[in-house]
Amino acid sequence: MSPILLNGIGTVDDHSEYIEPEVPFKNPQIHVKNPHLDTMEEDILYHFNLGTKTHNLPEMFGDIKFVCVGGSANRMKSFAQFIHQELALPGNMDDVTDICEGTDRYSMYKVGPVLSISHGMGIPSISIMLHELIKLLHHARCIDFILFRIGTSGGVGLAPGTVVVTDKAVDCFFRAQFEQVVLGKVVTRSTELDVGVSKELLQCSSELEDVPTIIGNTMCTSDFYEGQGRLDGALCSFSTEDKLEYLRKAFNTGVRNIEMESTVFAAMCRACGIKAAVVCVTLLNRFDGDQIATPHDVLVEYQQRPQVLVAHFIKKRLGLVV
C-alpha cells in the first residue's frame, strides 16, 4: 500500500515509510501543518509560559525578523545583550528580561526585531522548543523572518575555532534526513537548509576578522559520547581505529562538524517553509582527540564567533552596515 494523505496528515500502513512533502522556502508565511490548531479556543505554549488568551502575541512578537536559538540559557542572554549593543538600541543592554521567566525550561529575550531563545541540549529538548516557537511565530503573524541555530560542535578535520555554516544536516548514517516516529510509524523529513542564507553568511564571514568560516555538512547524533564515537564515556565498545575509520567516512561524505540538534531543526524549518541556518563553531578536531582541554578564555572567544557572524548578517539585512 502506498502512503496517503488525509487532511494534510500523512498516514501509512504497517510496512511503509511516509516521506513528508516539502514546503518551498520562498513563502513568507509559516506553514503550520496541523489542522487541529484551527479548532482550539486557546493554544497554551506551556514550556514558554505563554498563551493565545493570556498574551497578545501579535503585539509582543509581530515585528520579529530574526530568531536565534542556542543551547545555553546564559549564552542566549549574552547574545541578546550583544545584539542590543550591536544594533545600538535605546536603554541598557543589561536590562533585557526573560520573557519565559515563569518557567525554568527555556529562556527567551526580545531585542528589537531579534528573538533570542535557549533550546537545551539534544533533539528532544530543541524539538519541544521548536514546536512552541513555530506556533508562537504563527500566532504572532510573523512573516519574512529567518531562524538561526548558533552553537558549538566538534570539528571533523577542521582546526578548533572554525565556524561551520551547515549545508545539509545529516544523521549518523550520513543521510540528509530526519526520522520521527509518529504513532508507531516512521515519518521521514528532508534536512536541507536554505542555500541563499548559507551563501550570504559565508560572504559576511569574509568581511570579518578572525571568524574563519566554511560551508559543510553537519552530522547530528543522539548523544555526546557513544553516538559521536568518543572513547572517553562511561561505555565504549569500539577501538581507536574503529572511531577514526568512522570519522574518515564522515569526512569523505562532506561532514565537517558534529552536534546534537541540527537534523530536527532543519527538518522542522523545512517542513514549515521557514528559511533557516545552522552556524556552529568547532571546539576541537575530533581526529586529534575527544576531550576539550582548550583554555577557558579561548573557548569563550570561539563561542562568540557564531554570534559575531550572525550579528553582522542581521546588521547588513537591516542596512546598518554596508
Annotated binding site for substrate: 228, 230
Closest CA to 139 of 258, 261, 275, 32: 32
Instruction: List binding-site positions.
Output: 105, 149-152, 228, 230
CB atoms within 10 A of CB 102: 9
The grid coordinates listed for 216 are 559543510
**What is the helix (H) or strand (E) element at residue 132, kind and residue range?**
helix 123-139
| CB-based contacts of 179, cutoff 8 Å, min separation 6 | 171, 186, 187, 188
d(CA 320, CA 322): 7
* CA proximity to 83, closest of 73, 92, 93, 91: 93
Are 109 and 67 within 8 A, CB to CB? Answer: no
CB hemisphere CA count around 92 (13 angstroms): 3
Q: What single-letter DSSP state applies at residue 209?
A: S
**Backbone phi, psi, residue 242, to 5°:** -60, -45
Asked if 171 and 177 count as a contact pair (C-beta separation under 8 A), the reply is: yes
Binding residue ranges for phosphate? 105, 149-152
Query: What SS3 state is found at 247?
Result: helix
3-state DSSP of 6-49: ECCEEECCCCCCEECCCCCCCCCCCCCCCHHHHHCCCCEEHHHC
Distance, CA of 153 to chain centre: 12
